[in-house]
Amino acid sequence: MNDRVNTFDTSVGQGQALPQTDRQRVLRNTYWLLALSLLPTVLGAWLGVATGITRSLSGGMGLIVFLGGAFGFMFAIEKTKNSAAGVPVLLGFTFFMGLMLSRMIAMVLGFKNGPELVMTAFGGTAGVFFVMASLATVIKRDLSGMGKWLFVGAIVLMFGAIINIFVGSSAGMMAISVAAIGIFSAYMLYDLKQIMDGGETNYISATLALYLDMFNVFQSLLALLGIFGGERD
């Protein structure tokens, strides 16, 4: 159903070949919502750093809270993406993700050059997004076949990260971070092409996908910068 008929329908022409104007509208709405979603993320990260509420969430307990909260929110987003609740649920998810990220940010801020490392990771993530968005506009070939390979890579990466939480290997963390930057940068290109080619018609789903791509790239860059660039007093 067209969003001019149903105010809360965030998809356009589901199951049909989208006209160019509708694709541009989905992309524009996605960009706006993605920018908005960064505000709760920053708020959650600030709250976590200021209060230390996530300081005790390490090892298995932290993993359970993160996976339970993240998958719970993603399930709720999928259920509400075509309703008035879709955007608030998505923004609640981004607040939660900022809160979960605060533990790593607090660790990096413990370095003498911590604020510079955080800003470098943010700038690097923005740079990756700009490059992928530019590539998505000039690449004409269909990239939908990338999806299954990227999904497999992300699953392998997730299991590797879970194992490394208990192993605690710095080398393993570096390898996982480098792989995550590569996989989720490619995922960013894939997700942007899906929107531009009309394969994704719901801007809430599109925003969720791009947000997760950016979150993982930022987190991985921050981890690498902390390992290689952190200066102790």
Residue 7 has pLDDT above 50, yes or no: no
> Which range is least confidently modeled, 3-12, 29-38, 105-114, 116-125?
3-12
Using one digit for the tens of pLDDT, what is the confidence trace for 148-199? 899 999 999 988 888 887 887 788 889 999 999 999 999 999 999 999 888 8
- Helix 114-138 to helix 203-229 angle (10° resolution) is 140
Kindly list the domain boundaries of the chain, sorted by start residue: 20-229
Q: pTM for this structure?
A: 0.87
**At CB < 8 A and 24+ separation, what contacts does 156-165 make?**
157/183, 162/63, 165/59, 165/60, 165/62, 165/63
Bridge partners of 11, per DSSP, are: 202
